[in-house]
Chain A
C-alpha cells in the first residue's frame, strides 16, 4: 500500500522565482495538509485541503497557495521565493478528523 508520495525530493530555486511541490495522498485518504519545517524546528502548519477547498490555514503569507484535485492529490505553490523559504516541505494525508496523519518524506527546497 503506497503511502504519501511527494515530488520532487530536492529542489534548488533562485530568489524571486516560483515553485510548485506535489503530493499524492495515501490510498483512502481525502485530506491533505502541508507543513514547512526549518532546520532544527518542528513542522509549521501551512494549510489543509479537503473536498478541493482550503479549510484551515496557518500563519503564512499569500505567497503560499495550494490546490487539491478531484483525485485528492495536492500542490503547494510558493511565489516570489525568499531565502527564508528554504526548508523541508512536508505533506500529510488523513481521513477527515479520523486517525493519524501519514506523512511523506518531504521536499527539500533550497533558495539561493
Chain B
C-alpha cells in the first residue's frame, strides 16, 4: 500500500503557484520523498526528490516539514501544460535495498486559463 495521502483533486489559475500537499506521517529516517507526474496517456515523469532539506530544480520546488511528516510540491508559475496527475511517493534510497516505487491515486491538478 502507498505510504502517502494526497487530496484527490486541485485547481490552480494559470500563472499562479500550484501548491500540492502530501502527508507521509509514517516515513522512516532513510526514506526519501519523490514526486512524479503523469500527463494523460503518457508514462509518469520524475519531478524532484528530497530527504529533509528543501529542494529546487528547473521544474519545481519541494518543501519538507522539519518533522518530515508532510511535504509540498510547488510549481511556481503553473501553465496549462502542468495539468496532470501528481504522485507523491516515499522510497528508501540506499543502493543495497531492492526498493519498489508504490503509487497511490495521486492528485489530479487542473490548471485553469
Residues 31-79 (chain A) with a chain B CB within 8 angstroms = 33, 35, 41-45, 48, 50, 55-56, 58
B102 in the interface (beta carbon within 8 A): yes
| Interchain nearest-CB distance for A4 vs B (Å) | 7
For chain A, the bracket of interface size reads 20 to 34
Question: In chain B, what residue has the closest Cβ to A88?
Answer: B41
Q: Are B101 and A45 in touch, CB under 8 angstroms?
A: yes
A-B contact number at CB 8 A: 64
Q: Are A98 and B42 in touch, CB under 8 angstroms?
A: no
Q: How far is it, in angstroms, between the C-alpha of A62 and the C-alpha of B92 when the chains are bound?
A: 27
* Chain A interface SS verdict (over half): strand
Chain A interface (Cβ within 8 Å of chain B)? 4, 33, 35, 41-45, 48, 50, 55-56, 58, 88, 90, 92, 95-106
In this complex, the member of A50, A98, A100 whose beta carbon has the largest number of chain B beta carbons within 10 angstroms is: A100
Q: Give chain B residues whose Cβ lies under 8 Å from the Cβ of A97.
A: 92-99
Question: In chain B, what residue has the closest Cβ to A100?
Answer: B46
Which listed segment binds A: B9-17, B61-69, B70-78, B103-111?
Answer: B103-111
